[in-house]
Structure 1
Amino acid sequence: MPNNAALAVGLGLGAVLLTLPSGDFHLEDWGFAKRLVLCVAAGVTVLVLVRLHRLLFQPLELLRTPEDVGYIAEDGRTKARAANEARRRRKVGELPPVYPNGWYRVLDSHMLGRGEVRSAYILGQQLVVFRGHDGKAHVLDAYCPHLGANLAVGGRVLGNCIECPFHGWQYRGSDGKCEKIPYSDKVPEFAQVRRWPSCEVNQQVLIWFHCDGLEPQWSVPEQPEVANGQWVYRGRTEHFINCHIQEIPENGADIAHLGHLHTPGLPSGVDLRYTNSKTWEFVRHDWKVEWDPEPEPNSHCSQMRVNHSLTLFGCRLPLLDLRVVARQVGPGVVFLRFDHSFLGRGLMMHCVTPVEPLLQCVTHTMFYQRNIPAVVPKFILKGESIQFERDVMIWNNKMYISKPLLVKEDAAVRRHRRWFSQFYSQNSPQLEYRRDTLDF
Structure 2
Amino acid sequence: MAKLLWVTILSCIILGAITVTQVHGEILESLPFLGQFLNAEGSLGFLEILRSAIANFLTGARWMWLGVLTLLSLVYTAWLVVRKILSILFSPLNLHRALGDLGYTEIEGVKSQKDVANIVRRRRKIGDVPPVYPNGWFSLIASRDVPKGQARSVSVLGQHFAVFRGEDGKAYILDAYCPHMGANIGIGGRVIDNCLQCPFHGWTFRGEDGKCVNIPYAKKIPDIAKTKQWPCFEANGQIMVWHHAEGIDPTWMPEVMPEIDTGDWTFKGKTVHIINAHIEEIPENGADLAHLHHLHKPFIAAGVDLRYIYNPIYAMFSHKWVAQWEPLPAPDQHIGELNLVHSIEVWGYTIPFTTLSVTVHQVGPGLVNLKFKSVFGSGVFIQTLTPEEPMLQRLTHEIYYDWWMPAFLPKLMLRGEAMQVDRDVMIWNNKTYVSKPMLVKEDQLIAKHRRWYSQFFSENSPRLSFQKENNSEW
Q: Which amino acid aligns with 1:196?
A: W
The structure with the largest helix share of the pair is 2
8 Å Cα contact 1:6-1:44 kept in structure 2: no
8 Å Cα contact 2:390-2:469 kept in structure 1: no
What is the match of residue 426 of structure 1? Answer: 459
8 Å Cα contact 2:6-2:76 kept in structure 1: yes
Q: Which amino acid aligns with 2:173?
A: V
Secondary structure at the aligned position of 2:360 is classed as strand
Q: Tell me the TM-score normalized by structure 2.
A: 0.87
Aligned partner (choices 216, 237, 249) of residue 203 of structure 1 = 237
Q: Which amino acid aligns with 2:321?
A: W
Matched, 1:310 2:359: no
Secondary structure at the aligned position of 1:261 is classed as coil
Farther off after superposition, 277-286 or 72-81: 72-81
8 Å Cα contact 1:10-1:40 kept in structure 2: no
What is the match of residue 53 of structure 2? Answer: none
Farther off after superposition, 402-411 or 270-279: 270-279
- Alpha-carbon spacing, 1:272–1:10, altered in 2? closer, same or farther (3 Å): farther
- Cα deviation per residue 1:117-173 (whole Å; 9 max; x = unaligned)? 101011021211111111111111111111111101211111111111111111111
Partner Cα distance (2:176, 2:471) in 1: 33
What is the match of residue 270 of structure 1? Answer: 304
- Cα deviation per residue 1:16-63 (whole Å; 9 max; x = unaligned)? 79999x998x97544333332222222221111111111111111112
What is the match of residue 32 of structure 1? Answer: 65
Secondary structure at the aligned position of 1:106 is classed as strand
What is the match of residue 441 of structure 2? Answer: 408
Aligned residues: 438
8 Å Cα contact 1:226-1:367 kept in structure 2: yes
Q: Which amino acid aligns with 1:434?
A: Q
What is the match of residue 246 of structure 1? Answer: 280
8 Å Cα contact 1:162-1:173 kept in structure 2: yes
Kindly report which structure 2 residues correspond to 1:122-271, keeping only aligned pairs within 5 A, or say none.
122-271=156-305
Larger radius of gyration, structure 1 or 2?
2
Kindly report which structure 2 residues correspond to 1:318-357, keeping only aligned pairs within 5 A, or say none.
318-341=352-375, 343-357=376-390
Matched, 1:292 2:326: yes
- Alpha-carbon spacing, 1:61–1:435, altered in 2? closer, same or farther (3 Å): closer
8 Å Cα contact 1:263-1:284 kept in structure 2: yes
What is the match of residue 370 of structure 1? Answer: 403
Secondary structure at the aligned position of 1:260 is classed as coil
Partner Cα distance (2:319, 2:18) in 1: 52
Q: Which amino acid aligns with 1:69?
A: L
- Cα deviation per residue 1:237-274 (whole Å; 9 max; x = unaligned)? 11111110000000000111111111122211211122
Secondary structure at the aligned position of 2:122 is classed as helix
- Cα deviation per residue 1:272-305 (whole Å; 9 max; x = unaligned)? 1221122222321111111111011101001111
Q: Which amino acid aligns with 1:424?
A: F
8 Å Cα contact 1:10-1:41 kept in structure 2: no
**Percent identity (aligned):** 44
Secondary structure at the aligned position of 1:186 is classed as coil
8 Å Cα contact 2:139-2:384 kept in structure 1: yes
8 Å Cα contact 1:10-1:44 kept in structure 2: no
Partner Cα distance (1:177, 1:323) in 2: 48
Partner Cα distance (2:89, 2:83) in 1: 10
8 Å Cα contact 2:317-2:346 kept in structure 1: yes
- Alpha-carbon spacing, 1:50–1:330, altered in 2? closer, same or farther (3 Å): same
| Ranges in structure 2 where 5+ consecutive residues have no aligned partner | 26-57
Partner Cα distance (1:310, 1:227) in 2: 32
Partner Cα distance (1:363, 1:335) in 2: 12
Farther off after superposition, 416-425 or 317-326: 317-326
- Cα deviation per residue 1:290-347 (whole Å; 9 max; x = unaligned)? 1111011101001111111112344321321111111111011000011002x10001
What is the match of residue 390 of structure 1? Answer: 423
| Ranges in structure 1 where 5+ consecutive residues have no aligned partner | none
8 Å Cα contact 1:366-1:377 kept in structure 2: yes
8 Å Cα contact 1:231-1:346 kept in structure 2: yes
What is the match of residue 34 of structure 2? Answer: none
Partner Cα distance (1:303, 1:7) in 2: 53
- Alpha-carbon spacing, 1:439–1:87, altered in 2? closer, same or farther (3 Å): closer
Deviation at 1:67, TM superposition (A): 1.8
- Alpha-carbon spacing, 1:266–1:200, altered in 2? closer, same or farther (3 Å): same
- Alpha-carbon spacing, 1:439–1:352, altered in 2? closer, same or farther (3 Å): closer
Matched, 1:359 2:398: no
What is the match of residue 313 of structure 2? Answer: 279
8 Å Cα contact 1:268-1:277 kept in structure 2: yes
Aligned partner (choices 74, 77, 89) of residue 44 of structure 1 = 77
Q: Which amino acid aligns with 1:209?
A: H
Farther off after superposition, 33-42 or 344-353: 33-42
8 Å Cα contact 2:381-2:399 kept in structure 1: yes
- Alpha-carbon spacing, 1:153–1:287, altered in 2? closer, same or farther (3 Å): same
Matched, 1:55 2:79: no
Partner Cα distance (2:384, 2:308) in 1: 28
